[in-house]
Structure 1
Amino acid sequence: MTQIIRDRKIKFALIGCGRISARHFEAVYGDEAGNIPPNADAEFVDVCDIDEKALETACKKHNIRGHRDYREMLAKTEADVIAICTPNGLHYEMGMAAVEARKHVLMEKPFCADLMDADNLIAAARDNRLHTFAVLQVRYNNTIQLLKKLLHDRKLGKLYSAAVCVRWLRPQKYFVGWRGTKALDCGTVLNQGIHYIDILQWLLGPVKRVMAQSATIAHTIELEDQISALIEFKSGVQATFEFSVNTFPKNKECSLYISGEKGSVEISGDAMNKIEYFEVDGIERPDISVRDGNTYAGGLYKGSCPNHPFIYNDVIRVLKTGDVNYINGDQARKSLELVLTMYKSASEKKFIEFI
């Protein structure tokens, strides 16, 4: 059993001071607008990045120790948890190094870029009585929480079908540096669409088989910029998944529609963050607040909702109480497997069966 930490703050260290790191710092220190309060039970003690300017900015802003080499940081830090916010192709290597240093791992999506790597990392952490926390924060959208409860309570009756549609824009200048490369990005759906694949499998359960087609149409990159898939679940539900970063002139929608014998619900907005349609037998349309998606790179693009504080609250609760109810590596593996199976289907041009 993991040692419980009751008498002090949970200490975090972070690797990778890119765009997403701001969400992690906000989860601990709060945001400048005052919408996210500081977390009294957490602190960052170390940060690492190979980019000297990005590292210096983070260190000065948050008054924490900086390192250029993550292995050197792992050898010195007193952190309980290592937040890994680096390019996708580095997640496994850095996650394993954190486990070897006897640290819990908080992994940005995707958990890994390879299924065997994910299995090895999960097993290594378990063998060392360490936790693997996965950042799949879209689950905490008010809209998704509502839909999860409706399905849990069987308010839609027998489910018939589902559809996810992600029509976003990522301009060519988004794909600079590691983005768009096979070695470090590893997949556009893997990097950006995995949140919504995660929502599908979290709500609808085990997958039976998948057929997918992908293409690179509007960008000069090594990866897909759009994909379409048919996903058949073991429950019999058939779902479609449409994902594109070619939408002119900006993000149009990120929607989920589920149809059942007693109701139909569509969640839309730019990040599955508002109720578009709600007709459920015996239930009035709920009035819930809308959280806007995060804006990045000075308005270059928008992403998912600002839910990282929920993830950090989970980490803190688990380490202070021993609770096991959180988004762990095993759960993240399911979404990873589905995305990788979609890629395999697109490559082999056939249905791929799940075991």
Structure 2
Amino acid sequence: MKNFSLVGASGYIAPRHMKAIQDTGNQLVAAFDPNDSVGIIDSFFPEADFFVEFERFDRHIDLLRRRNKAVDYFSICSPNYLHDAHIRHALRNNAHAICEKPIVLTPWNVDALREVEREGDARIYNILQLRLHPAIKALREKVKNSSSDEVFDVDLTYLTSRGHWYSVSWKGDDTKSGGVAANIGVHFFDMLGWVFGRVKKNTVHLHEADVASGYLEYERARVRWFLSINANYLPEQAVSAGKRTFRSIRIGTEELEFSDGFTELHTESYRDVLSGGGFGLDDARPCIETVYDIRHSAKSPLQGDYHPLCRQVEA
């Protein structure tokens, strides 16, 4: 049984990490969040110590180490711009870091963390859960086993509606979240690179506070992508069904069915790490490069290949 601490206990994704710690037979001994709305902890680890001040949390982690009850893993679910600092805190305590995506906001932050990691024995892991989804793994095998000169045409569409709170929170601040492409899309860009290879071309058609879209060429794919938190862009079939989320990956004329199994992927990610696998900094860097380039690219006119929903935004 390993000891875990969790940074960012009141966040949306934190319960999946708590469940993953529980499902893998380990224990959460300490948690931190400046927000005290963390009653969800009672559903998993009611005996865990909780702190709203980082200084007291830091002191407690040090005391556990001195009492031979050291934390083995830090689960990091804090706002994106704080991941770097919290990963460093984990490693200074000789603990492995399991961090939500995006692991950091710039490629050179990845390189700096690599230097920190080399100074000790603790590892840094990123949650890149789509790599563990059975449908995505099967797609990767299909691409690997196809003719080496075949290039696939892909349309990626992901809409996850958010209310007015989003723009007020840290997620609405590009300097803290990395923008909509990083905040809701980075795991899709990781998946595309894992399946289709290196990025050869990155064109951005839209990049606003609530929507981003563009065209990516990978070694084995041409991808038109569209991401948004704006419910106005939901397709009619989602609206009719009363859904506020829509995800689609169309490869050629076929729809990739991968809607099931998402809620268990964090547990699978933890199992992978604890069994000696996991995805590290070298795995994470390509998708960080992709979303960084998207964020800093000038917008191109709607010419050539672009996602059809772009016209709906312009209208």
TM-score range, shorter chain: 0.7 to 0.9
Q: What per-residue deviation string (whole Å, max 9, x for no partner) do you get for residues 164-196 of structure 1?
A: 111332222344432211342231121111111
Q: Is the 8 A contact 1:231 1:239 kept in 2?
A: yes
Question: How much identity, in percent, do the aligned residues show?
Answer: 23
The reply on whether 1:58 has 2:41 as its aligned counterpart is yes
One-letter identity of the residue aligned with 2:288? L
Aligned with residue 47 of structure 1, among 31, 35, 42: 31
> What TM-score, normalized to structure 1?
0.72
Aligned with residue 339 of structure 1, among 291, 295, 305: 291
Over the residues paired in the alignment, what is the CA RMSD in angstroms?
Answer: 2.6
1:252 CA displacement = 5.0
The 1:100–1:256 alpha-carbon spacing in structure 2 relative to 1, beyond 3 Å, is same
Gaps in structure 1 of 5+ consecutive residues: 1-8, 30-37, 217-223, 274-289, 294-304, 319-324, 350-355
The 1:117–1:156 alpha-carbon spacing in structure 2 relative to 1, beyond 3 Å, is closer
Describe how 1:73-92 pairs up with structure 2 within 5 A: 73-77=60-64, 78-92=70-84
The answer for the alignment partner of 2:312 in structure 1 is none
Q: Is the 8 A contact 1:74 1:98 kept in 2?
A: no
Describe how 1:151-170 pairs up with structure 2 within 5 A: 151-154=143-146, 158-170=150-162
Aligned with residue 72 of structure 1, among 40, 44, 59: 59
Moved over 4 A (4+): none
> What TM-score, normalized to structure 2?
0.81
The structure whose residues are more often helix, as a share, is 2
The reply on whether 1:307 has 2:265 as its aligned counterpart is yes
Q: Is the 8 A contact 1:228 1:242 kept in 2?
A: yes
Distance 1:135 1:51 in 2: 23
Distance 1:212 1:241 in 2: 10
* Matched residue SS, 1:211: strand
The 1:11–1:204 alpha-carbon spacing in structure 2 relative to 1, beyond 3 Å, is same
The reply on whether 1:227 has 2:212 as its aligned counterpart is yes
One-letter identity of the residue aligned with 2:255? E
Q: What per-residue deviation string (whole Å, max 9, x for no partner) do you get for residues 210-269 of structure 1?
A: 1103343xxxxxxx2111111122x2632211112223354353122234xxxx64215x
The 1:168–1:64 alpha-carbon spacing in structure 2 relative to 1, beyond 3 Å, is closer
Q: What per-residue deviation string (whole Å, max 9, x for no partner) do you get for residues 123-177 of structure 1?
A: 2113313211111112222221221222233389722322211133222234443
The answer for the alignment partner of 2:139 in structure 1 is 147
The 1:252–1:12 alpha-carbon spacing in structure 2 relative to 1, beyond 3 Å, is closer
1:204 CA displacement = 0.5
The 1:251–1:157 alpha-carbon spacing in structure 2 relative to 1, beyond 3 Å, is farther
Aligned with residue 224 of structure 2, among 235, 240, 244: 240
The 1:91–1:252 alpha-carbon spacing in structure 2 relative to 1, beyond 3 Å, is closer
